[in-house]
Structure 1
Amino acid sequence: MAKPVRSVAGPLHLSHLSEPVLRRLSELLDRAAPGKGWRDLAQRAGSRGRVRLSPLDLEQCSLKVLEPKGSPSWSLLKLLGERGCTVVELVEFLQALEHTEALQCLSYPGIEVVVHPDSQAVLSGQVVKLCCWAVGHPFVHYQWFKQEKEVPHGKAPELVLNPVTIHDSGFYICRVNRDSSFAFSRWARLDVCDLQSTPDGNLMASPENKLRICVQPRPQTLTVGDALVLECGAAGNPVPHYQWFRNGFPLENGDKNVYMVTSVDEEHQGTYWCHASNEQEGRDSQKIEVVVGRKAVAVECTEGDLSDLQAADLQEESDHRPVATDKVALLIGNMSYRHHPQLKAPMVDVYELTNLLRQLDFKVVSLLDLTESEMRNAVSEFLLLLDKGVYGLLYYAGHGYENYGNSFMVPIDAPNPYRSANCLCVQNILRRMQEKETGLNVFLLDMCRKRNEYDDTVLVLDALKVTANIVFGYATCQGAEAFEIEQSGLANGIFMKFLKDRLLEDKKITVLLDEVAEDMGRCHLTEGKQALEIRSSLSEKRALTDPIQQTLASAGSLARNLQWAKAHELPESKCLEFRCGVQVQLGFAAEFSNVMVIYTRLVQKPPEIAACRAYITDFALDLDVDPKETNKGTPEETGSYLLLKDLPKHCLYTRLSSLQKLKEHLIFTVCLHYEYSGIEEMMDERKEVNVGKPLVAKLGLHHRFKANSCLQSCCTADSPCLNQRETSSVTNKHCALSPCQPASCPGVCHPHPSCSDSIRRPEACSCNGSSKILPSRQEAQNYSPPVDVSNVPVETTDDTAELEFLLSDHFRLSQRQQL
């Protein structure tokens, strides 16, 4: 084996390779299999504009076989070296040919990381640099990870976070790879303290490495059984360690920056503080008091005592308005059903409700056209946003039905006919929300509630908790249908048409819905067909306009902000400069959390170019983009009617929907066609653009839904019929899934009726010729949840050794699958 080529400063040209290396490469290329020989290499090299190879050049290389020791490959490599081809370019050509043996001549047998990133504890707003360097550059590739997630644009030896935010906290690692070889750096922990959470305004002026307490614990008054959560944050290098104290004694398991007791007793009362230290110095946080008292005991009282209590409650209610610790909303609109009638209104309904809720300080995730597994994963992500005292709102517009008091939302891939196993049960979602101890649970269901004659399944659900924080707003009564109304080419659901006019009013949510119901009752279009039904267990005067009073820098708040921000990160605008001097601007706008509009605009054109046009193409197959619907002159032509006032004029527009299906980074090509003055030949240039995973694509909703998520609507959460449903296949496109066998699902009956569809349609109505009632939402590809292996599936943990083992083990598996 020839001596491998080592890294040097600057690009290494082929002409500088040693003769033994060239000889070995020539031998491998001369006797290579079809598709990996010297002619294939010449074709790859010739496709580069800088390295031009004429037919005469290839003929001269080919004639070398007539010489006693002649080699076409040797001649080609010499020719490439004379024309400026570098070793890096040759490596890229050989990688494209998948010529592993030839690549080994140009690389190290192994990879060694010589510079590892350091753990840091910093203040938000600073510039943070994490560095990794491996022997073998420039023949190695770098990829940074935060926990199991790839860091967008983290493909350089140095990862720069400028400015760093509290959302950047976590564990980082760098993977260095070349072909099937790879190595990992050590894990680096990045702790970011929010400067806004500290009253000390001089922290930023302190020396960068000096130890500083930037998050102070806060005093608390609790009752027996409550949870105690104390948090302390420090910045400084080296990374500080923590130790909590109570009444002067160190606490067991108190070596983290957050100290928690899930259920306190009177013995937990006392004076607490945290000591932060590193190898250079140590500091104490403020000392705070934790008071623990006994819970009130229910006693018998007279009618007079009760009147006094009610009067006191009314006085307290007037003095203390309810508050939310946060407000989050999940909005789902299903329109493009594969086996059922299409709907029009959910797109406009979800868009308008999103804008209204954001005015009320709700964190909103809005999604269109979800399959069953995507809906279940979206609900799971929504549940992660909930916590004690949070206001949670779920809005659904699409096909649905109600059986035995349970409401079911129908995904777009539900078979015909569908049953509960293919749909999401709303009551099951409510039970999961209650487990989060939310302050208010609001369900707005804009769907039909007629009985599904094909589904006689009796669900076995866990009992709901007795709480006074649940509000259901049904767009129609039980056993009735919900309708859409079309005006000026756009459609609204009847429910949303009246709800949007009152949603911002500062009124108790049930009072507000009562007034919406009265408004709907005065609409002659749906008289006798649709009426709003309200179900509530609300005993407090809670409204969607209630203010938010967060626990400052609480772990739950940080998690909600991070999760919400993940689903709303748009790519940054880019300006691409082509060799001919033309500059093209790329812009991005979000229509929904899973719908993005890309617009392109020419910002500079040299005078010698008579005409040019830039368009985008080559999208991932996951998105199923129709090329005929891209690069349109107006947003309306792409199907985007809602962003007209927000998008710049005189651009080409492309609307990308279903971003939740994106498995890898969004990569596309910008093609530039241009023509010089006086020359009829059309020239073209191409640039590949990688914008990472925009919007909701970061949440991985395309993954197969996990059975242990307890969102299954059929039977109980741990029922054997769940696994059977996931592994079965649909053979008859006209029927729903095969019913569960009684032995696997005792006590649940699944009859198998015929597949004839006899659902009746209501009569169409009109109003002065300007609006019309569209088909109802009673009716909505076969069920087949997508299967995907996560790139690097690692759970977040403080155990960096476990993180490194899991990450390395998965990458080895991925490499074996690729080979």
Structure 2
Amino acid sequence: MTKFDKDAYIECLPLNLYKELVNALNKDEAWMTLASYVAEQLQYSCTSWIKSLQETKQPDDSPGQRLLFELNIKMCTVEILRTMLDDCGLANILSIISDPGIMTRIYSLVLEQIAYFLFIIVCLEPLKIIVHPIEKLQTDTLTISFGRHLHLYCKAIGMPPPSYAWYHEDTQLQNCTSSELDITINSASQAGKYKCKVFQIKNDGILLSTLTSKTITVQIFPIPVTIEEQPQPILEVKNHESFTLRCKANSYPKPYYQWFHDNTKLEGEVSNTLHIKQFSSRHEGRYYCYIYNDFSEVYTQRACVMLDLPRLKAVAKIALIIANGEYDYHECLSNPKNDAAHIGNLLKEIGFEVICLLNLSITQMRTVIKLFSKALVEGVYGLFYFAGHGFKMQESYMLAIDAPKTYLRRDAICESELLAAFLENDPELLIIILDICQTLPSKEFNPEIYNEVPTVNVYKSKKNLRNLIQAYSTSSHRPSYERENSKYGLYVTHLSKYINKDIPVTKLFENVGKSIDSCFKGKERNQIPMFASSITKPFRLTDATYKNKPPASISYLNELISFSTKTLDVTFKQANICTKVTISLFMEPYLNLIKVKLPDLQNVEINFFNSVPAKRNNLYHKQHKKECWIHNPQVNDGPVVISISKHGTPIGATLLHIQEYIPCLLKVINS
């Protein structure tokens, strides 16, 4: 073994022995045993001391090497290191630097040396910040974008080892207690001054000293105002109570707020919270907040604030919806089919029984109107929606799909005809929505209509026409437009926003008009919706219905429109094939579009035919889906022929008596 000067410092060891010592300390984490011994003698936090030794920054750095380095700069001699290794039971490491001439230890002398060494460590290691955040970045002001990381670094030395705490302005950042700060900038509020406080704390918890790093100012690139929280869209408030509306926005620089009531600026209301005391009818209306900074501005959604009125109940809620798009002698329309289906499905969501029919003749329209009117008895809410061609001459007229090219008023159904039928039995609430043009017929192409003497339809109501709403997609002598590249027409696009909302019906149509008015573009400025009302009660389309047995007329109507998907067995005897056929609605909620599908029949071609030729084609075949759909199947149409072929050669056929499985309503209106 090599003989060493016992008073020599660790740094005087030969390089090969020094490396051997480092490797031995790192093996099986023996360095932690020695480090814990030193911490115990010094009476400071063992955890912090070990953690500081583990913070290696270079690839060739290690805890064992850092431990020897820390002991060396504290003037630790070879003899003191031998003694500490011996006390820790690290004999294998001690053997590396043992002196063969020394067989025993004089422990009193050694303990004096260790005490002197520890005294030197404490005295010579005051707290000191050696790297400030601004030094690594070489600037005291940092500009950063949203979504990026803010990465700051601070380094201190001292015994006991330093502890760290990062601050934003004067607020300590939670869970940021290492020498590095790494956070994501996702709010304008994160701009400001950042600093690091460094502490020396003894093992018994006594604070020895504190230092604060140099401050770095973080700026955030300007960002536009983004609304994070909208005021609630609908708020009902009882009389004399208070209400609060809130919004929240994020931006940099910080956003400013200004509240409005029905486009009137509310003086002094410049926070993100609006509080109104002692609510009354004068406070009803639409509230919104204007939010802005130096770079952008936005408006929140409108909050409709209304008086909370008593809730009503209906005996039943029923709707008749007709969409006419495929005209025989007039331009076909693409939106009515989607518009009517959308409105029908929304009404079903809020408890309406819906009769939804597509492309009806004038005879079919009159039949179903008469049928529907019989169910509009006292206590019933009724709604009628029509989408298709129409015109106005003194009153509004709806055109059926078989209307002649040169039509007269008697070839259409007028609004007074509807009212005469629907008001006969005094429903509790009646809403008529006409999604049609309100223009005059062309004198050039249809002069005879101007010489016609119109039929006057007299309608009476025991309730003097109370609780009636007549709504129109456009006003008198104005067109109603379909929208290019849009699934729905302009009126239904906005009507669908409110028709299933829990708001009074008058508010519903007010909101539709305001919604359309706020987004006018181009020729749509010619379409100005309107409605007339004689409502005397706070009706809502969402009102509940009584659970007791409905009137006989409602029960009968429900029987007529009842339908459920059916699966039947069919046999192709010639081909000796038995399979299943499914009969369902082709497009919800239309009751007169019936789909027939053979999903399990493979490796054959399927064709569908009417056994009796229809005057107007009503069967549409989809070969690749092995299905067809039939519009308005009638009793006198006869059964549907289903033919199967293989490689173009017929191999079998069967008859499907579809009339047995269609809604009973179709049998009534087509009889």
Higher relative contact order (CA 8 A, sep 6+): 1
Higher strand share: 2
